Structure 1
């Protein structure tokens, strides 16, 4: 996962070089974990529906 964070941080910095590495990495990290949390919720809902 850390490789993906670095890859997307580098891509973001290419688009917004003035952002700074720390801010870009924080944004990418927050975005990744928010997306993972949403995906986990969807999986949990689907499992609950299957059990019913």
Structure 2
């Protein structure tokens, strides 16, 4: 995960101004979105992976 300072550098690179608290909230929200996207991607790929399919009886 990126530090608050790294995030602030990117967010403020074009003149926008954010407090450390705002940057922290943005960072946490982005982290949550990435985590959800990764979980969805992993779940979808495991369904399409023939090595992960259950054997029929």
TM-score normalised by structure 1 residue count:
0.65
Structure 1 range deviating more: 30-39 or 8-17: 8-17
TM superposition shift of 1:38: 0.6
Q: Which consecutive unaligned segments of at least 5 residues does structure 2 have?
A: none
1:7-46, CA deviations, whole angstroms, 9 ceiling, x for partnerless residues? 21343244422x2110111011101211121111101110
Q: Which consecutive unaligned segments of at least 5 residues does structure 1 have?
A: none
Q: 1:1-52 to 2 correspondence within 5 Å?
A: 1=1, 4-6=2-4, 7-15=6-14, 16-17=16-17, 19-50=18-49, 51-52=52-53
RMSD after superposition = 1.8
TM-score normalised by structure 2 residue count:
0.61
Distance in 2 between the 1:9 and 1:36 partners? 21
Number of aligned pairs? 49
